[in-house]
């Protein structure tokens, strides 16, 4: 059995990844593994992991991918298939390292795409369900436009200073994500093929006013998935409903996770 302290670093590949656990360890109980957005980190989830653990009684594990938070920086530019590499190389090693037995993957934005790739590619019997907040399966024009706009904001306002609260190497975090999405070859990025191979229940939460994606992402999931797909479109929310409409977001995810991990399995 793997015994981990409540917070620390995991050495995965060539990187040290910061993590923290709330509630029981993954080797001891069902666990929700949280994968952050393209500018996120373990800390940028705020108190949502604690709220999720309190609402469900299920263990919660959060970590910062390489290039984010206090984790090891990455070499720039990132390869354009960086999300697939995270899903197919880093995430399986991390799940093994933490002693993951069974649980749910919960991803936001880039993290949702990584979770979807892993769920479709790995056939991991330990993953009993997947929650995707504002996922991207293909690149939309609105995404590229918003990402180009945030680059200008980063370089001309105090956004860099704000993000530096959450990342030890803020330029590494920002440009690793931003430059990949703005690469002229990135619009060909498409992970929708993985959706047909997901064999566990899937929940998608989408802010109605998401500036980085549209309802087209949900349409793709409904077209491609053979698994059950629960869709919640959240009015009054943009790209981060867990921060903008936390009560509804928490209730939706908690109900799904408890149904998958507690009610159905006893």
Contact 116, 191 (CB under 8 A): yes
Q: For each of the domains in the chain, give its residue range(s) and CATH number, in order of start.
A: 7-263 (3.40.50.1820)
The predicted pLDDT at position 3 comes to: 79
Mean pLDDT, consecutive 10-residue stretches, the chain (266 aa), reads 86 97 96 98 98 97 98 98 98 98 98 98 97 98 97 98 98 98 98 98 97 97 97 96 97 97 68
In sequence order, the 6+-apart residues with CB closer than 8 A to the CB of 45 are 34, 36, 62, 242
Query: pTM, whole model, 2 decimals?
Result: 0.97
The predicted pLDDT at position 266 comes to: 47
The predicted pLDDT at position 119 comes to: 98
Place of tokens 């790739």: 117
DSSP state of 73: P
Helix (H) or strand (E) holding 209: none
């Amino acid at each position: 059995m793997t015994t981990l302290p409540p917070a620390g670093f995991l050495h995965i590949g060539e990187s040290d990844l910061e993590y923290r656990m709330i509630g029981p360890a993954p080797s001891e109980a069902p666990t929700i593994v949280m994968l952050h957005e393209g500018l996120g980190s373990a800390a940028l989830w705020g108190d949502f992991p604690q709220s999720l653990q309190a609402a469900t009684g299920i263990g919660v594990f959060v970590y910062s991918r390489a290039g984010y938070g206090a984790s090891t920086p990455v070499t720039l530019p990132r390869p354009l298939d960086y999300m697939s590499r995270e899903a197919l190389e880093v995430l399986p090693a991390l799940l093994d390292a933490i002693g993951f037995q069974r649980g749910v993957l919960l991803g936001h934005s880039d993290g949702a795409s990584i979770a979807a790739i892993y769920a479709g590619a790995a056939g991991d019997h330990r993953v009993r369900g997947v929650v995707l907040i504002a996922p991207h399966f293909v690149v939309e024009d609105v995404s590229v436009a918003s990402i180009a706009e945030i680059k200008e904001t980063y370089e001309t306002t105090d956004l860099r200073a704000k993000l530096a609260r959450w990342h030890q190497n803020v330029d590494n975090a920002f440009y690793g994500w931003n430059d990949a999405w703005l690469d002229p070859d990135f619009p060909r990025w498409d992970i929708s093929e993985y959706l047909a191979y997901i064999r566990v229940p899937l929940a998608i939460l989408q802010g109605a006013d998401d500036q980085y994606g549209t309802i087209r992402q949900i349409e793709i999931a409904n077209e491609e998935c053979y698994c059950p797909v629960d869709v919640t479109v959240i009015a009054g929310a943009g790209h981060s409903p867990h921060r903008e409409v936390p009560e509804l977001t928490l209730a939706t995810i908690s109900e799904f996770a408890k149904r998958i991990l507690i009610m159905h399995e006893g």
